[in-house]
Structure 1
Amino acid sequence: MTEKVAHFIFDVESIADGELIADVRYGGQGLSPEEAIATYQDELVEQNGTTFIPYTYQIPISVVIAKVARDFSLIDIVSLDEPHFRPHVITEHFWRGWEMYGQPQWVTFNGRSFDLPIMELAAFRYGISAAKWFKNDGYRSPRNRFTTEAHLDLQELLTNYGAARCNGGLNLVAQLVKKPGKMDLRGDQVQQQYDEGKLTEISDYCRCDVLDTYFIFLRSMVLMGKTTIDNEMQLVQKAKEWIQQRADTSEAYTAYLNAWRDWEKPQDKTVEKAKAAAESETPETSEAAETSDS
């Protein structure tokens, strides 16, 4: 029997809608979609030092979801509508899949501010119903920011809903648990990758972000007392084996494994250092130490 999916850990990569930008920001100027994007990015660099366009002007081009069981074990990872990556199909599969699997908990990193809003706006854009997500159930409503039953944003968990700042973001938190973090691509480079036709590379980047988020999720479950550190380490090892079994079919998995590091318990490191020091101690140094003590 297939194990029930309890959590959907996901990440979204998106591109700018040049026609929308031209209509909203530069109406009547006759800019092409490409020119509108370039003009807006120039403005953003001058204002904010980044070319990343706000999600309201974007559409999803890659959504990768990790299916995770109730015991937090990794079941599968899928890239929606691969290899076609059609935004309207991705959006349809995203919301219908959530319903089909019994509305598992969404798990994201900064998904409250970006990933879920862009998928909600995409559903609005393409005329897709997400009635169960938008239902009004008081405090337990799925979209209520302060209930994690429907959506656990790991960045909000770690910053107490923005009371502190997560400087370093996903990359930093992933590396705290010795996982690869950001490798060859950044979110603000996705537009260029898309323009160059590198759709699979975008999906691979998204896939690696989902893996990082999964391992951050596991440590967060330890933090919240929902599992133990020993069980987390076992789950990490099983997930590594899962990735290894699929490395031949995915460049993303190969790259992730090449950057892999194993997290070790701090006390284990201390013991190992003590053992190493004891083993390196020669009879002469031991005799000298005894003479000094006497």
Structure 2
Amino acid sequence: MSQANCDAVAHLIFDVESIADGELIAAVRYSGEKLSADEAIERYQAERLEQTGSTFIPHTFMVPISVVIAKVTADFRLLDIKSLDEPHFRPHVMTKHFWQGWEAYQMPQWVTFNGRSFDIPLMELAAFRFGLSIPKWFDDSGYKSRRNRFSTGSHLDLQELLTNFSAARFNGGLNLAAQSLGKPGKMGLSGDQVQSYYDRGDLKAISDYCRCDVLDTYFVFLRSMVLTGRASLSQETELVDQAKAWIVEQAESCQACADYMDHWSEWTNPWQLDEDETLASATHPVDQADPQPQDAASNESPQ
């Protein structure tokens, strides 16, 4: 297989940070009150805080302000991470690059953490807002549609994987999932603080935060591939080492990568070399091509 084929992008792991559209909030929620955009955002945030305990505004009133995407091969190697339209961070340009890039890479699998509820709907609505056509995403193929809730081949939401499509709650979110693997998780900034960072013009900090979330999501993705039998624990260990080396190299010119490595710790592997081989083999996927052993009783003729 050629190097080009080996490096073909099979998964796009991404995260989106967003800001409120104050003019839209003023028009929809406070029509006739003549609130400025900033006043409308502040008032709605206060209402949300009282109602939900968080100032986070629903995605329908938001636009993307940072979109970071990791390119990953079919054998789960990290190729690169890009922050779209950095340093300009123009919502309409980021949205265009997001969907056109997906098509340019031959429509690989999106991978997110809670992206089914937020990131993908936000980017769909952004395309609607900015007049973009994405017919290959909105394909009309019934249950095979890429937008089907259970179409994990098109979009793997790791939170849905770990909760059986929200049958259970995942208290702790990506932060917990990442830290359980020894990865940094949240490092100061949180999603409900993005608006205040934007208001003071610190867009680079938002992008760096988004980049670190994508790195966390990549490592959660790797462990999920072990969980579902698509990779072995030893393969994951090798991939983590390769990704770590890549992040260290990037840290020379990327502050987000440097910060990420400052908070890096290693996952404690409980499997010891001298442990029972039967137990250790449980960390390796079953080769589906191998014939399954049959119960001797099943070969007997019925009485």
TM-score by length of 1: 0.91
Alignment correspondent of 1:289: none
After TM superposition, give the deviation of residue 141 of structure 1 in Å.
Answer: 0.7
Count residues in correspondence. Answer: 271
Q: Does 1:141 align with 2:145?
A: yes
Alignment correspondent of 1:99: 103
AA in 1 matched with 2:137: W
Aligned counterpart for 1:242 among listed residues 246, 258, 261: 246
What is the DSSP-based 3-state SS (H/G/I as helix, E as strand, rest coil) of the residue aligned with 1:267? coil
Q: Does 1:224 align with 2:222?
A: no
- Residues 166-185 of structure 1: pairs in structure 2 closer than 5 A: 166-185=170-189
Aligned counterpart for 2:135 among listed residues 108, 131, 134: 131
Alignment correspondent of 1:34: 38
**Cα distance in structure 2, aligned partners of 1:140 and 1:217:** 23
**Cα distance in structure 2, aligned partners of 1:235 and 1:133:** 30
What is the DSSP-based 3-state SS (H/G/I as helix, E as strand, rest coil) of the residue aligned with 1:61? strand
Structure with greater helix percent: 1
**Cα distance in structure 2, aligned partners of 1:235 and 1:140:** 31
AA in 2 matched with 1:45: L
**Cα distance in structure 1, aligned partners of 2:88 and 2:272:** 47
- Structure 1 stretches of 4+ with a deviation exceeding 2 A read 267-271
**Cα distance in structure 2, aligned partners of 1:84 and 1:245:** 25
What is the DSSP-based 3-state SS (H/G/I as helix, E as strand, rest coil) of the residue aligned with 1:248? coil
Q: Note the residue ranges of structure 1 that are not aligned, 5 or more in a row.
A: 272-294
What is the DSSP-based 3-state SS (H/G/I as helix, E as strand, rest coil) of the residue aligned with 1:81? coil
Q: Note the residue ranges of structure 2 that are not aligned, 5 or more in a row.
A: 276-303
Alignment correspondent of 1:88: 92
Q: CA RMSD in A?
A: 1.2
After TM superposition, give the deviation of residue 55 of structure 1 in Å.
Answer: 0.4
Aligned counterpart for 2:49 among listed residues 39, 45, 69: 45
**Cα distance in structure 2, aligned partners of 1:54 and 1:208:** 23
**Cα distance in structure 2, aligned partners of 1:267 and 1:135:** 45
Q: Does 1:262 align with 2:266?
A: yes
Alignment correspondent of 1:10: 14
- Deviation digits for residues 102-141 of structure 1 (CA, Å, limit 9, x no counterpart): 0000000000000000000000000001110000122221
After TM superposition, give the deviation of residue 252 of structure 1 in Å.
Answer: 0.5
- Deviation digits for residues 15-52 of structure 1 (CA, Å, limit 9, x no counterpart): 00000000000011010000000000111111111100
**Cα distance in structure 2, aligned partners of 1:81 and 1:184:** 24
**Which has the greater radius of gyration?**
1
What is the DSSP-based 3-state SS (H/G/I as helix, E as strand, rest coil) of the residue aligned with 1:123? helix
- Residues 42-121 of structure 1: pairs in structure 2 closer than 5 A: 42-121=46-125
**Cα distance in structure 1, aligned partners of 2:139 and 2:192:** 33
**Cα distance in structure 1, aligned partners of 2:97 and 2:177:** 29
**Cα distance in structure 1, aligned partners of 2:221 and 2:142:** 26
Identity, % of aligned positions: 64
After TM superposition, give the deviation of residue 264 of structure 1 in Å.
Answer: 2.7
